[in-house]
Structure 1
Amino acid sequence: MFTPHTLRLCSAAFGGAFFLAGCANHLPQRSEHEARIERILLAHNLQIEVGDPQVLQLPQRRVHIHEQKTFEVTEFEVTRRYDRYTPYQPWRELYEVPLGALAVVAGIGANALNVLMLGRLPDSVTKDWISYGFAGLNPLLNAESNGRSQQNLASLDEQQHEKRTEYSNLPWAERPVMVNAGEQTHELTSDRTGVLRLNLLDGPFAEQDVSHVGKLLLSVEDPQDGTRAEATLLVSHLLRGKLLEAHALIYDDLEEDEVAQWVHRVKRLSELDLEEEASELEQSLIELTHNDPQLQQEFLDLLMKDAARLGAKPVVSD
């Protein structure tokens, strides 16, 4: 059994705790509206277009790579409602109580004046001053304050508006492409348009004897979901027979050769139907002799005489 003294102590403690805790001053509810789009991936494909013919007759080939995706797109309208309140802080009563008393007196005076002015004063004077005053006078309630208000999510409402299917077809831009050539695998990179420029006489293939490689296996893979695609490009027997000789014509040391041997290299590449390589070698030799105009002219004259090629001098800027 509790004694009267104990009951009085409990009552005092409860009253003190209630006084210190106070009451939150609830503010008008706030709402937020937003549009949300949900995209679900339905299909993901990679496509490698090696071009025609599928058998390489020349050492160069432009390979186009595309990434295709299908999405289910759903649009939602989302409404969030928040309960707002001013948290109770007891020390604020030190200034809110006297201010509240002044606000009540001012509000009563404003209402009296409003009667004489036939109701022309705004509600922010006639009603809000009195509301603020009574909140300030209440020792268990702070006056409303938007500046230190807090909020809790009261409800969340989502309404679906539209559902549609979207398709995308984008280039495999600046991403890795694996090329298996015989016993070696090379990692190349597509350009920003999704094109891989293969050249069996350039890049990593120049350091490999590809004259015995009968096919190239190209593969791409998206590491995010493991989507993968492969394509095969055959190398013709005729091209394989040209590659070894063409490699020597392009990459053997040029500076130890005579001018006549330079012309022979360009002419022989042209005879092998490797016109692009012949033009590149011709231009390289013209640039190599840039600082020796006499040697450069000798090369151009002999090129015209023996190979019937009119080499174009590079444009020299002042």
Structure 2
Amino acid sequence: MLQRNILHNGAALLGTLMLAGCANHLPQRSEHEERFERRLLDHSLQIDAGEPRLLELPQRRVRIHEQKAFEVTEFEVTRRYDRYTPYQPWRELYEVPLGAVAVVAGVGANVLNVVMFGRLPDSMTKDWISYGVAGLNPAMNVESNGRAEQNLAKIEEVQKDRRTEYSSLPWAERPVLIKAGKETHELTTDRQGVLRLNLLDSPFADHDISTVGTLALSVEDPQDNTRADASLLVSRDLRGKLREAHALIYDDLEDDEVSQWVHRVKRLSDLGLEEEASELEQSLIELTRNDPELQQEFLKALMKDAGRLAADPGED
């Protein structure tokens, strides 16, 4: 009775092994890569409002830069993987007979290798026998790189370098807050981080800025609340010119006579606002492009009454 139980349990164990099988382990595989860690050490914003700080003209270019300092640590990372061929019982149908052939061939190769003083390659003397033994084992498949699976076994990191890196980038297409008196306006920089400030343009043109003596500029990064502030003073002389200049530029042009157009351009120039005078001049030339006679009348009047030589930029 005891012997029968031992035989029964042994058969059950062998059956379980044949069903579950064993993975055939392959040589471990490694992957190497470099990894970088960047730690922010310092973050600042810089507003370059230009010189002088006192505005005598309505236009000013303000440059804004973002500066960062990072601690950069470089690591060499090695990932090691355990590889194996998963067991599939149905493969034993062809692996067992092939394994028997491989064992016989391997034994024959080893005998021949003795005669040839060890000149045969290991792929014949050793690999054939290894393949054959695995093939004859009903609980194991032979090695197969094509079916191989892998598990991450270990990660090793070695620090190679540590350094400090600096960056200075334009505050590109980002908001800038400008407080003018009781009003606060939000403007946006261009791709180069330049804010083109013009007190005769929107949004300042929509308010009476002639009473504002200081423009307070501020920028802030919402990610870490890094902030920078700057201010520009508006001269009393400029404030006195802004209201008149606004009327000269924005009052209706189409109902005016040519002489009044010339007066507007000349008056802006006399106020020292040459850039605004040139812009108005070009706007009037563009306005009369479809009326060549009126345009020529305007250009001649500019030359005669204002001493300004201008031409249609659209002409060849």
TM-score higher than 0.5: yes
Residues 187-196 or 277-286, more deviating: 187-196
Residue matched to 1:95: 94
Following the alignment from structure 1 to structure 2, what is the Cα–Cα distance between the partners of residues 304 and 9? 120
Match of 1:128 in 2: 127
Q: How many residues align?
A: 316
Looking at structure 2, the residues matched to 99 and 316 of structure 1 have their Cα atoms a distance apart, in angstroms, of 90
Q: CA RMSD in A?
A: 2.2
CA deviations 1:239-296 (Å, max 9, x no partner) are 1121111111111111111000100110111111110000000011111111111111
Q: Aligned equivalents of 1:76 and 1:37: distance in 2?
A: 6
Per-residue deviation at 1:139? 0.5
Structure 1 position 301, deviation (Å): 0.8
User: Quick one: distance in 1 between partners of 2:298 and 2:261?
Assistant: 8
- Provide closer, same or farther for how the CA distance between residues 103 and 5 of structure 1 changes in structure 2, counting only shifts above 3 A: closer
Measured after TM superposition, the shift of residue 63 of structure 1 is: 0.6
- 1:72 pairs with 2:71: yes
Amino acid of the structure 2 residue aligned with 1:271? D
Counterparts of 1:71 and 1:273, CA distance in 2: 47
For 2:251, give the aligned amino acid. Answer: D
How far apart, in 2, do the equivalents of 1:139 and 1:34 lie?
40
Instruction: Give the equivalent residue in structure 2 for 1:62.
Output: 61
The structural deviation recorded for 1:4 is 8.4
Q: 1:181 to 1:7 in 2, by over 3 A?
A: farther
Residues 123 and 6 (structure 1 numbering): CA distance in 2 closer, same or farther, change over 3 Å?
Answer: closer
Q: Give 1:171's aligned residue.
A: 170
Q: How far, CA to CA, are the matches of 1:35 and 1:239 in structure 2?
A: 59
1:1-48 Cα shifts (integer Å, max 9, x gaps): xx9887776655444323211111111111222222211101100011
Report the more deviating stretch, 167-176 or 12-21: 12-21
Indicate the residue corresponding to 2:85 in structure 1: 86
Calculate the TM-score normalised by the size of structure 2: 0.92
In the aligned structure 1, how far is the partner of 2:79 from the partner of 2:243? Answer: 71
Counterpart Cα distance in 2 of 1:212 and 1:125: 98
Structure 1's 203 and 99: CA in aligned 2 closer, same or farther, altered over 3 A?
A: farther
| Identity percentage of aligned residues | 74
**1:113 Cα offset (Å):** 4.1
Question: Where does structure 2 lack aligned partners over 5 or more consecutive residues?
Answer: none
Match of 1:313 in 2: 312
In 2: Cα distance, 1:261 partner to 1:290 partner: 18
- Residue 104 of structure 2 corresponds to 105
Q: Which amino acid is 1:144 matched to?
A: E
Q: CA 1:159–1:263 in 2, change beyond 3 Å: closer, same or farther? A: same
**Structure 2 residue aligned with 1:298:** 297
Distance (Å, rounded) in 2 between the aligned partners of 1:284 and 1:42? 50
Give 5+ residue unaligned stretches, structure 1: none
Q: Secondary structure at the match of 2:105?
A: helix
2:283 alignment counterpart: 284
User: In structure 2, do the counterparts of structure 1 residues 4 and 251 end up closer, same or farther at CA, with 3 Å as the change threshold?
Assistant: farther
* Match status 1:209 vs 2:208: yes
Q: Offset at 1:132?
A: 1.1
Q: Which residue of the partner structure matches residue 237 of structure 2?
A: 238
1:110-152: CA deviations, max 9, x gaps? 3344445544432223321221111111001111111121222
Residue 253 of structure 1 corresponds to: 252
**Distance (Å, rounded) in 2 between the aligned partners of 1:86 and 1:275:** 83
Deviation at 1:108, TM superposition (A): 2.9
Question: So what's the TM-score if we normalise by structure 1?
Answer: 0.92
**How big is the shift at 1:69?**
0.8
Q: C-alpha deviations, 1:221-247, integer Å up to 9, x for none?
A: 122222111111121222112111111
* Aligned-partner Cα distance in 2 for 1:271–1:238: 13
